[in-house]
Amino acid sequence: MLGRITIAVGLIVLATMALVDMAFARVEILPIHYLATAAGVLGLGLVVGAWIGRARWLAIVGFFLLPVLWVAAIAPTSWSFDAGDRFYTPASVNEVQSEYRLGAGTLSLDLSDLTGDELASVGSIELSMGAGEVTVYFPSDASAFLDLRVGAGEISGPFRTVSGIGAEVTEDIGLVPVGGPPDFTLKADVGLGVISIIVVTELQEVTP
């Protein structure tokens, strides 16, 4: 009886979340939120079952749910199903994309041919990858804010190296205006792999 009640409550809660997500444009409920809620309801059912209406089979459901929850936790919120090596070298602002996505492989974005002022006119770029390596090259006069996340792996750059599960870096690099925010924002999200940030000087050459 307790098991059926727990499953029913879980379905009602998940359905309510889905309705809220669809009804309100400003509300964004991600897949991991649904999975975490389901795991929480199952856990509550098991706790209650320790005293009344034992439903040990809920532990089996939770056993299969937890690995899915772990994968969802490290995966980026959006990424492509493409795979392979991608090397982008925009020579002008018009060639810069606002988003770059890849499922698995290597994604290199060379922004070193642009000036700091041209990057400022771009405003922001988002990168996302399921598994692999992301490398971004910046010009030496860039002023940028970095918002970097790796579900499991490493982040390195002209700041520090961070590794492990849920590695995150939020840093300013370059010539940040006094009293103001950086001119450009880079957001990169990798599920499993590496993010590398490289500032290129005039004497350096970028090799894929």
Give per-residue pLDDT as tens, 131-165: 889 999 998 888 889 999 988 889 998 888 888 88
pTM for the full predicted model:
0.63
CA-CA distance, 58 to 46, in Å (whole number)? 7
CA-CA distance, 101 to 99, in Å (whole number)? 7
Residues whose CB falls within 8 Å of the CB of residue 168, separated by 6 or more in sequence, listed in order? 148, 149, 150, 155, 162
- For residue 2, what are its two tokens? 């307790």
What beta strand segments (E) does 111-183 contain?
Answer: 124-139, 143-156, 162-174
Tokens 């990169």, located at residue: 188
Which amino acid, 201?
T
- Please choose, from the candidates 18, 40, 39, 36, the residue with its C-alpha nearest in 3D space to the C-alpha of residue 27: 18
Tokens 């925009």, located at residue: 90
200: confidence class by pLDDT, cuts 50, 70, 90: confident
77: confidence class by pLDDT, cuts 50, 70, 90: low
